[in-house]
Amino acid sequence: MIDGIPASVKEGDCPLFRTTNGIATAYTVSASSLIKVNLAPLEAKLVRRTWLAVLIGGLLPGVVLTQERPCPPRRHAKLPAITDSTYHTARKRLLAAGWQPVQRKSFDEATSDPDISYGNGRLFWRKGYVEVEACSGTGVAACSFLFKDAFGNRLRVQTAGQEVPRRKHYARVTGFEFVCD
């Protein structure tokens, strides 16, 4: 523990707040250290509101992406166990089960498309994961990916977690759903 903050707090984690005697202390993690800032009560309120707005803004793309209605198909390709797997492992399992990536972006627009130019989006795109639909640059680092099977069904896979390969941190599958047009 550092200053009462658990050692499990990792880079990219959301800021933590602690209030003692009316003075708030904000914590966040940078690439090299735990950052601690003491804030006056008014500043603390503004910082909390700002971080709340950032978190909500980071989650909105995921909410928007799930607006398509789920549609359970009559027949579909096998669905392997992918929940809680790293996306890389889940992708291999889906491909082996007959699911094919659905490319939603052209190669020309991918580098400047705001849906995939933040968070893990660029990293996944550079790995050749053309099925990436959108990634959030804030919050839980949510991303969504789209696949299609031989029956024409579409499967959306959602992930959360920052990709930091040099530290062996990888996005994990948090869920999936069938989607209709």
**pLDDT tens-digit series, residues 75-99:** 999 999 999 999 999 999 999 999 9
For residue 18, what are the CA distances in angstroms to 2, 15, 56, 66, 167?
Answer: 13, 10, 21, 34, 28
Confidence of residue 7 (pLDDT cuts 50, 70, 90): low
Q: What proportion of the chain, given as a percentage, has pLDDT over 90? A: 46
Q: Are residue 171 and residue 111 in the same domain, yes or no?
A: yes
* Same domain, yes or no: 58 and 133: no
Confidence tier at 153 by pLDDT (50, 70, 90)? very high
Task: Check whether residue 127 and residue 166 sit in a common domain.
Answer: yes
Are the C-beta atoms of 19 and 44 separated by less than 8 Å?
yes
Assign residue 78 a region (left: φ > 0; alpha: ψ between -120 and 50; beta: otherwise). beta
Same-domain pairing of 22 and 61: yes
Residue 146 CA neighbour count, 13 Å, CB half: 17
Q: How far is CA 158 from CA 87, 108, 139, 161, 166, in A?
A: 9, 24, 14, 11, 23
Note whether 44 and 116 are same-domain residues.
Answer: no
pTM for this prediction: 0.61
Is the CB of residue 169 less than 8 Å from the CB of residue 87? no
Higher pLDDT, 154 or 8: 154
- Same domain? For 139 and 171 the reply is yes
Q: Is residue 93 located within the same domain as residue 166?
A: yes
| 28: its two tokens | 């966040």
Let me know if residue 78 belongs to a domain: no
The arithmetic mean of pLDDT across residues 34-42, rounded, is 46
Query: At residue 171, does pLDDT exceed 60?
Result: yes
Q: Is the predicted pLDDT of residue 145 greater than 70, yes or no?
A: yes
User: Considering the domain boundaries, does residue 4 fall inside one?
Assistant: no
Q: Considering 65, 100, 122, which residue would you say is the last residue of a domain? A: 65
pLDDT of residue 125 exceeding 60 = yes
pLDDT at 38: 46
Kindly state whether residue 94 falls inside one of the protein's structural domains.
Answer: yes
Is residue 137 within 8 Å of 114, Cβ to Cβ? no
Q: Is residue 10 part of a domain?
A: no
Residues 91 and 59 in one domain: no
Counting the structural domains of the chain, the total is: 2
pLDDT at residue 23 above 80? no
Domain that holds residue 145: 87-179
